[in-house]
Amino acid sequence: MHHDPQSDPHRLTRRGLLSLAVLAAGGVALSPLHSPTEDPVAVPKPQTPAPTAKPTPKPTPTANPGPPPWRHRDPLLTTPLKRAANTRGAISSFKGAFPAMNVKAVVPLPGLTSAPVPWLAVSIVGPVNQLQIVNPDAGAPMHVVSIPGSHNGGIESLVWDRASKTLYLSTSGSLLSWSPASPKQVRRVAVVPGATVLYELRLDSVGNVWGGTYPNGATFTYTAATKKIRAHSRVAADTDYVRRVAIGPNDQVWVGTGSRNPRLFTFPASHPGRRTEVQLPDPMHNGFISSIDVIGNRVVVTASDITAQLLLDPVSKKWTGKVDRVWGARRASAEIKGSGQKPAQGGGRASAQVKGGGRIFNISQGILYATDTATWRDTKLGPVGTSAPLALHATSKAVLVASQIPTGLRLETFNLATGKIDKVRTVSLTDGEFTIQSLMGHSDGKVYVGGYMGDGLAAVNPDTGARWHSPDDESLVNQIEAMIEFDATRSYIGSYGSADIISMDSSMKDKPGGYVRLERLSRKYHQSRPFGWAVNSRNVFFGTVPDYGRAGGVLGMIDPRSNKISWVLNGGGAGFVRAHSIIGLAADERYVYGTSSVRNGYGIPDTKGPAKVFKLEIATKKKVWETSPVASSGALYAPKLIAGWLVVADVEGLNIIDPANGKLVRRHRLTPTRNAAHRPGWANADIAQVGDGSKLVHSATGTTTVVDFRAGTKAVIGTPKGKQRFSPRLAATPSGGVFGSTEKTVLVELDLLPRPATPTTKPAPPGPSKARPPKPAPRPTPTRARQPSPTPTPSP
């Protein structure tokens, strides 16, 4: 019986109605058909109860009995699925699910105006408001530019050409430019063939733009006069990365590579193929050249896991020493050659050779230093308000220091004559939004969100639209690859960069002390990204992707009672599954099941062969079996234990696996794509389980599907060819809601109910609708920015 909403004292929310609908739909069972790919599964025959002296009383009816319990290895999961009508797609949306402001770079723009303090170009992380042009005296951006179709993390590099008053910037494989003549937009000037990222833009003495690339492992040049781009050949067969570029006197180019055997190459700008290789003083197996700067009579180089700045003689190409004091953020000002002279690279272009030493300025532990570029001796100047500068702009009289504060930028002018801060300016920047990287449905009703190239944690209450953000002074959580709730009191987070395993205490999540790093897996195990998570009633399990240039992930277990890692299995250094990443986990009380990907750390070829599925006995830490059930797929994702089966995803659909032996029993095709058409990944497909698994949502390659095993149906969610294409990262809440994302930053709740069939009879005239109107998108909540993190930028 339908109740008028205004008179019903127990009015249900939309989510409550959806939950009841899910339960009601879950009670439908079809006669099972057996999979042709495996021997028929035996279905127990119903037993007739023995006669009794008294009639059996009828059970008391309940309002919502829910679906019947699953049978062990229930044949409903191996029954072929029928196509049902599409669902409506997204039934609610929350724009800017992770609003934030994380400054990525600050570039002074001397010569843009005649003001004594230069304007600044500021880039922030995310796909909106990426470029902001700042007048330091105005206290706010003069121009804010969003770049459509940019990389998920925003702008990769910026360089200012003072002579032409042009700012060049890169995002994905494109080179763009900004000009004060058209300050509200950027112009795409070139695309580098084959490149997905353009790194470290620099200018030579005639204004040509140089940069590095991934995965080309090469440099490129853009000539503004001809508007032509030239991509050079790979600098070495074993590298996909040229992340660092510097140009010294007489246009000698220096580049730094990774992720295997990181080293330097140098060549004259006029002959990019005439290269000289320079190994590090202590060669590394993997890592990156972190920075290169040509300063005075030396090339200053930093590299992964090396704290000092290394000094190289550019003529002999021999290492001559090091600077042990670490420069904050590895940044130094351009060189000042003498009293009254401008910086050697104040306009961005490389300069001719200038004899005689000068000074550069850098910061360590909140102290500004001057470093003599002839002797490399330091002079301590005085305290400043940051240890992690975003930029240092020096003249012969003062040093401008830019750093991040919660509202934007802090700009300090340090007077070299008095040795003190003359003036402090603050600039309020326009907030951006992180691209959604990971989701977690929690028992508190919220959906937690991790951000790409982000830091911290955000959450949305889907019933009220209320927003939450971890505290600004929490400094452990960076880009979250995946996370999991153990119980209402504690969750665990896998943070990118160094494969940090982080515990979050729910009662203290608004304080920095509520976040504890249990282990940094990069140090001992050379891991980078924790993607796989599972829990049982006693423990939490994690699986990882290895570091750049390495193969083989690890499997580990956490004891939540002690909040410590109990063990980590790494296959003797070769990986728990040899030369495979561990990207998906499921667990019961006795076993852990996992899935792998042949894709390892960036910068190394994929391991040959298909993905693996494994079963581990927890008590003995021994593998029971390891199989390759899907020969066509190099990655299998998101395993779930349902009704006595192991259900895993690939980009084509669902695979039903027998957990007793790891053999494939049934495949359910859900997407139009093919495994062979996509490079194996770490999170290219996902499964969200609703309740007992009667319904699953699968998402991959732009197609999202709800599967109802009890009804024997599969229905596409929304219209994949239209605007409602959802990402492959999903989360389910205890109330039965399933959430995904679209348009990079928008959290959406997905409709799980197929549309009813179109009626064949003429519908009745429309009357007043009693359906609830759709919930409006919540108003964006202002957020405070977070302090920059010293972890490496999570680009490919």
Dihedral of the alpha carbons of 605, 610, 616, 621, in degrees to the nearest 10: -30
What's the confidence (pLDDT) of residue 457?
Answer: 98
Dihedral of the alpha carbons of 283, 286, 291, 296, in degrees to the nearest 10: 10
| Structure-token pair, residue 622 | 């021994």
Dihedral of the alpha carbons of 364, 367, 370, 374, in degrees to the nearest 10: -30
Do the first three CATH levels of 81-96+434-750 and 192-324 match, i.e. the same topology?
no
Distance CA 134, CA 185 (A): 15
What's the confidence (pLDDT) of residue 64?
Answer: 62
Are 652 and 630 contacting, i.e. CB atoms less than 8 angstroms apart? no
Whose CA is closest to 395, among 465, 457, 341?
341
Residue 456: CB atoms within 10 Å:
24
Answer whether CATH 2.130.10.10 is correct for domain 81-96+434-750.
Answer: yes
What's the confidence (pLDDT) of residue 338?
Answer: 65
CA atoms within 13 A on the CB side of 569: 19
The residues facing 656 across adjacent strands are: 647, 666
Whose CA is closest to 607, among 625, 630, 634?
634
Q: CA 581, 586, 588, 589 torsion: positive or negative?
A: positive
Domain boundaries, the chain: 81-96+434-750, 192-324
Whether the upstream peptide bond of residue 215 has omega within 30° of 0, thus cis, is yes
State whether residue 359 is helix, strand or coil. strand
Distance CA 716, CA 73 (A): 26
CA atoms within 13 A on the CB side of 607: 27
CA distances from 609 to 472, 570, 604 (A): 44, 20, 15
206 CB-near residues (< 8 Å, 6+ apart): 349
Whose CA is closest to 123, among 185, 186, 165, 169?
169
Whether the upstream peptide bond of residue 150 has omega within 30° of 0, thus cis, is no
Report the length, in residues, of the chain: 796
Distance CA 637, CA 537 (A): 22
| Structure-token pair, residue 786 | 């977070």
What's the confidence (pLDDT) of residue 52?
Answer: 37
Query: Per-residue DSSP letters for 102-147?
Result: -EEEEEEETTSSS-SSPEEEEEESSSSS-EEEEETTTTEEEEEE--
What's the confidence (pLDDT) of residue 99?
Answer: 95
| Structure-token pair, residue 593 | 């099941």
What's the confidence (pLDDT) of residue 300?
Answer: 98
Residue 101: CB atoms within 10 Å:
25
Q: What is the 3-state secondary structure (H, E, C) of 414-463?
A: EECCCCEEEEEEEEECCCEECCEEEEEECCCCCEEEEECCCCCCEEECCC
Distance CA 598, CA 607 (A): 5
State whether residue 693 is helix, strand or coil. coil
Distance CA 178, CA 70 (A): 61
Which residues of the chain carry a pLDDT beneath 70?
1-65, 338-348, 350-356, 722, 757-796
What's the confidence (pLDDT) of residue 337?
Answer: 83
Answer whether CATH 3.40.718.10 is correct for domain 192-324.
Answer: no
Distance CA 568, CA 586 (A): 17
Whose CA is closest to 412, among 402, 427, 398?
402
Distance CA 393, CA 118 (A): 9
The pLDDT tens digits of the residues spanning 356-395 come to: 579 999 999 999 999 999 999 999 999 999 999 999 999 9
Distance CA 39, CA 56 (A): 38
What's the confidence (pLDDT) of residue 668?
Answer: 98
783 CB-near residues (< 8 Å, 6+ apart): 99, 100, 101, 431, 467, 469
Distance CA 344, CA 356 (A): 12
State whether residue 469 is helix, strand or coil. strand
515 CB-near residues (< 8 Å, 6+ apart): 470, 474, 476, 477, 502, 503, 504, 505, 509
What's the confidence (pLDDT) of residue 10?
Answer: 35
Distance CA 693, CA 26 (A): 9
Distance CA 532, CA 554 (A): 10
Question: Which position has the token pair 């508007």?
Answer: 227
- Residue environment code for 214-246, b if the CB has 16+ CB neighbours within 10 A, otherwise e: bbbbbbbbbebeeeebebbebbbeebbbbbbbb
Q: CA 210, 214, 218, 222 torsion: positive or negative?
A: negative
Distance CA 276, CA 727 (A): 44
Question: Which position has the token pair 């009804």?
Answer: 711
> Is 768 buried (19+), middle (13-18) or exposed (0-12) by CB count in 10 A?
exposed
pTM of the model: 0.87
Distance CA 795, CA 495 (A): 14
The residues facing 231 across adjacent strands are: 220
Backbone φ, ψ for residue 160 (5° rounding) = -105, 125
Query: Per-residue DSSP letters for 266-282?
Result: EEETT-TT--EEE--SS
CA distances from 164 to 39, 221, 225, 347, 551 (A): 73, 17, 11, 10, 46
Are 299 and 293 contacting, i.e. CB atoms less than 8 angstroms apart? yes
